[in-house]
Structure 1
Amino acid sequence: MTESALAAAVRALMPRARRELAELVAFPSVADADLGLERECRAAAEWVAGALRAEGLTGVRLVDTPDGTASVYGELLGVPGAPTVLLYSHYDVQPELDAAAWDSPPFELTERDGRWYGRGAADCKGNILMHLTALRALRETTGALPVNLKVIVEGSEEQGTGGLEQYARANPDLLRADVIVIGDVGNFAAGQPTTTASLRGACDVFVEVRTLAGNLHSGQFGGAAPDALAALIRILDSLYDERGGTVVKGLPCDQTWTGLEYSDEQFRADAKVLDGVQLIGGGKVADRLWARPSVTVLGIDVPPVLGAAGSVQAATRAKLCLRVPPGMDVHAAQRTLMTHLESVAPYGVQVTVTPGASGSPFSAETSGPAFEALGSAMREAFGVDLAVSGMGGSIPLCSALRELYPDTEIVLFGVEEPTTQIHAVNESVDPLELERMTLGEALFLRDYAAGWGK
């Protein structure tokens, strides 16, 4: 078998990958129980299970996890003397947000300007197709997989409810492997193969403010009656300095990143920052994204402008997300944020602060046989050296896997380069990036197996 044959096999499989990605994107598999999409999530899980069975995996089943969702597991073992590789991804997705803001239906894969658009096209259904297509290409060119294989596809990663982590801790042999591939990240830039070595942890906090028994006429009472919404705005403003950087009393926010640089110009382009709008915070972009904590206001319960009444608000609440870098305990940081919110409440308003879901930060090793095999594989697939970067997002399962299997290498890569706009409207995947990452994964599995035990 030559590499050109493997590359040709991946290329020939791309039309199938597009068809199947369209099928998978069509499921609005948002795992938020309040949205009532359990049937859609189950259907997406069944689709994944069917795809694994079609590839010859055995023991394929839906694993019901303690958070009420289902993960999909399958395996293909029995290769003597070969390492065991676990491939991870997730089929649940973020809500579509404002469906009217999408340029095409969010749950209908649409090709436009050379990209494939749809919720989950990159995060993380595109990575599921990366795994499936890499396995198919290997089997078509060699007749068999060179490794013992396990696959786990999570059903609630975006919700951070920890169902799979809890299940894995209760069943520690299920996900045991020599190397774990986390397919839920992406390249630093399109065309630049990248492995992620650092993930921030995340925790949610809810803050509710109450001031009155009920809303009041803003003319008759406004100016003296305490406005809950105005109080909440003041509380939230205390979380940022004059440059917009995160400041939480008792939480260090001045750490620095040593490694791959992220220029202001590239970040502005990747984030689509509007002309004239400044970046927030101080220090290098990489410091702010990968080495320091940050607080984001995810939502506020307020009356919409359309139909708003002339009244003083009696109660309101907000949901915050605190991202914390490696080296910081996520639970301690969550408590610190809660204490801060309680301490800055103005003019005696009633404040209730409650914790939400949380996941710990993670650091990956950048040495060992898997890392070496990944570097050579991606160099062959892309023609440039593998980069090592951080990521500001969170994958809570990684920390649980590190605790369960301290001697197992964990490598992170995927199709979610910055222009995919994950978690935003008009999410998309670049099919060329999907093809190259698929080839890189196939080469990695081949090369890792070839070097095993040497």
Structure 2
Amino acid sequence: MTAPELRSRAQNLVDSGEFFAALARAVSYPTVSTSPDGRVAVKAYLDEVLTPALTDLGCTAETYPNPDPAGGPFLVGTRVESPELPTVLCYGHADVVDGHAGQWREGRDPWTLTADGDRWYGRGAADNKGQHLINLTALRLVLEHRGALGFNLKFLFETGEEIGSPGLAEFAAQHQDLLAADVLIASDGPRLDAATPTLFLGARGGVRIDLDVDLRPDAYHSGNWGGLLRNPATTLAGAISCLVDGHGRVRVPELLPSELPHTVREALSGVVVANTPGDPVPDENWGAPGLTAAERLYGWNTLEVLAFGAADIDHPVNAIPGRARAVLQLRYVTGTTLDGMAEAIRKHLAAQGFSMVEVSLSESYVASRTPVEDPWVGWARAVLSSVAELPVATLPSFGGGLPNHVFTDILGMPTLWLPHSYPGCLQHAPDEHLLMPIAREGLVLATALFDALREDAPC
């Protein structure tokens, strides 16, 4: 079987319904990591679906306990063909968010994969079961084709990504030899858009910023006390505008990276965001000036107000509230440090006359990325470009959050993320779906990438 025939076999696996059947079985396990029943389903999914898939690849498969009691177990598959060959680590997560049963259109069951045209509906179809099944299938195709992979394989599955990956960093630190590899090749998150094959190299970090203006326990009549008492809501609005102005521009230097590297700017040149029909249109003159939409989304920091409240907006009374609160979120790229950030915000607000605003940080996750100039990146782009029908977009950082830092910072390896979903897949919501054309092309791309490793891996 030649390489083109191998890619044809990958396409036929999707066209014939074979891959749909495998995904339907995976979706049928309600592996919700936030519920006791879901934890039972997670164990069954590891034992009945993923462990057999790994052993079919010639891997030894072992389940490990989580060092954090808040998280579920880890499954690691290992196939060693030769110490002289490169080693690839793959990653996926077995857990999903709540199914939102009863909220899906046309009475769909979240745990039953349903085809409607090119859309395959089911919880986990896109996040992440469809994605890791594509990679498992691609590896099987290469193994059947070659009789050997031509590289050593390790596959790590976690079961708590949807609850923040508790214990993953600790597990990786404790098992560095077990997980050691030359490169991570994994799939999660969306492509740039439904039509564009995408390679991304890391993820932005995020931190929640809580602002609290608690001035007095009681509310006072606005006619009798207006103009005399400081209004916490007005104060909070002013404080927020000192952090991020009414045009989305961040005003605190400590909340921004020092520069946009030229390699990042070059990688994002020509990248068009929000290019799928139905996407909202990016607002003109919003966010950091002088940057393209792609640079703002994938190469820079953004500060968003997620919630703002004082008193009862639906039933206001003629009184000055005593307290106002807001929740903001900073999405940040590498080069931004959280150390001292809360104090920097306090000092900035105090300098503007808002020392009464209490600041606290929580729910943070780390930013990390593989350098665009890393040899593995150039290798992957060349392989993918040789088989993709459209130009491959290379994104230095995924806009959302992923535990990429575990692989770059703790395990010390470059990371290549080849997503098999798209921004409109409705992950985490009712009607989550995987697009059949993306699954078809994704299987071809993943098969080509794994097949090329045996001959020209850059190590």
Structure 1 length normalisation: TM-score?
0.80
Deviation sequence 1:159-206 (CA, Å, 0-9, x none)? 446521122112211211122113224433334322213532222233
- In 1, distance between residues paired with 2:65 and 2:72? 5
Alpha carbons 1:246, 1:253 under 8 Å: kept: no
Q: Which residue, out of 80, 88, 93, partners 1:90?
A: 93
Amino acid at match of 1:122: A
Amino acid at match of 1:259: E
Is residue 363 of structure 2 the alignment partner of residue 361 of structure 1?
A: no
Amino acid at match of 1:61: T
Alpha carbons 2:29, 2:45 under 8 Å: kept: no
Task: Give secondary structure in 1 for the equivalent of 2:416.
Answer: strand
1:105 is displaced (CA, Å) by 5.5
Is residue 2 of structure 2 the alignment partner of residue 2 of structure 1?
A: yes
Listed as ranges, the gaps of 5+ residues in structure 2 are: none
Correspondence for 1:192: 196
Alpha carbons 2:379, 2:457 under 8 Å: kept: no
Is residue 265 of structure 2 the alignment partner of residue 272 of structure 1?
A: no
- In 2, distance between residues paired with 1:328 and 1:110? 43
1:149 is displaced (CA, Å) by 1.6
Alpha carbons 2:67, 2:170 under 8 Å: kept: yes
TM-aligned CA distance change 1:265 to 1:404, over 3 Å = closer
Amino acid at match of 1:189: D
Is residue 85 of structure 2 the alignment partner of residue 77 of structure 1?
A: no
- In 2, distance between residues paired with 1:418 and 1:153? 23
Alpha carbons 2:271, 2:294 under 8 Å: kept: no
Task: Give secondary structure in 1 for the equivalent of 2:179.
Answer: coil
- In 1, distance between residues paired with 2:267 and 2:400? 19
Task: Give secondary structure in 2 for the equivalent of 1:331.
Answer: coil
Q: Which residue, out of 173, 181, 184, partners 1:180?
A: 184
Would you say how many aligned residue pairs link Structure 1 and Structure 2?
Answer: 446
1:294 is displaced (CA, Å) by 0.7
Task: Give secondary structure in 2 for the equivalent of 1:204.
Answer: strand
Is residue 122 of structure 2 the alignment partner of residue 123 of structure 1?
A: no
1:86 is displaced (CA, Å) by 0.7
Correspondence for 1:18: 20
Is residue 410 of structure 2 the alignment partner of residue 412 of structure 1?
A: no
Correspondence for 1:323: 331
**245-254 or 351-360: which moved more?**
245-254
Correspondence for 1:169: 173
Correspondence for 1:398: 404
Alpha carbons 2:244, 2:251 under 8 Å: kept: yes
Counterparts of 1:28-47 in structure 2, within 5 Å, are 31=33, 36-44=34-42, 46-47=44-45
Q: Percent identity?
A: 22
Amino acid at match of 2:421: E
Correspondence for 2:266: 259
- In 2, distance between residues paired with 1:258 and 1:248? 23
1:75 is displaced (CA, Å) by 1.7
Alpha carbons 2:345, 2:359 under 8 Å: kept: no
Task: Give secondary structure in 2 for the equivalent of 1:173.
Answer: helix
Correspondence for 1:289: 297
Correspondence for 2:394: 388
Alpha carbons 2:200, 2:397 under 8 Å: kept: yes
Deviation sequence 1:112-158 (CA, Å, 0-9, x none)? 45223445432333322222221232344345543322111233334
**57-66 or 138-147: which moved more?**
138-147
Deviation sequence 1:342-384 (CA, Å, 0-9, x none)? 76685x756352433231332335443x445533432343234
**395-404 or 298-307: which moved more?**
298-307
TM-aligned CA distance change 1:299 to 1:64, over 3 Å = farther
Q: Which residue, out of 425, 434, 441, partners 2:446?
A: 441
Correspondence for 1:298: 306
Task: Give secondary structure in 2 for the equivalent of 1:391.
Answer: coil
Superposition RMSD in Å: 4.0
Counterparts of 1:205-220 in structure 2, within 5 Å, are 205-213=209-217
Task: Give secondary structure in 1 for the equivalent of 2:255.
Answer: coil
Task: Give secondary structure in 2 for the equivalent of 1:174.
Answer: helix
TM-aligned CA distance change 1:184 to 1:266, over 3 Å = closer
Alpha carbons 1:71, 1:164 under 8 Å: kept: no
Counterparts of 1:216-255 in structure 2, within 5 Å, are 228-252=232-256, 255=259
1:436 is displaced (CA, Å) by 1.4
Amino acid at match of 1:54: P
Task: Give secondary structure in 1 for the equivalent of 2:178.
Answer: coil
TM-aligned CA distance change 1:395 to 1:48, over 3 Å = farther
- In 2, distance between residues paired with 1:366 and 1:48? 36
Deviation sequence 1:279-331 (CA, Å, 0-9, x none)? 62223112211222111233456777667788765445443321122222243
Task: Give secondary structure in 2 for the equivalent of 1:202.
Answer: strand
**325-334 or 336-345: which moved more?**
336-345
TM-aligned CA distance change 1:182 to 1:341, over 3 Å = farther
- In 2, distance between residues paired with 1:344 and 1:103? 53
- In 1, distance between residues paired with 2:139 and 2:259? 41
Listed as ranges, the gaps of 5+ residues in structure 1 are: none
Amino acid at match of 2:140: R
- In 1, distance between residues paired with 2:99 and 2:242? 30
Amino acid at match of 1:319: V
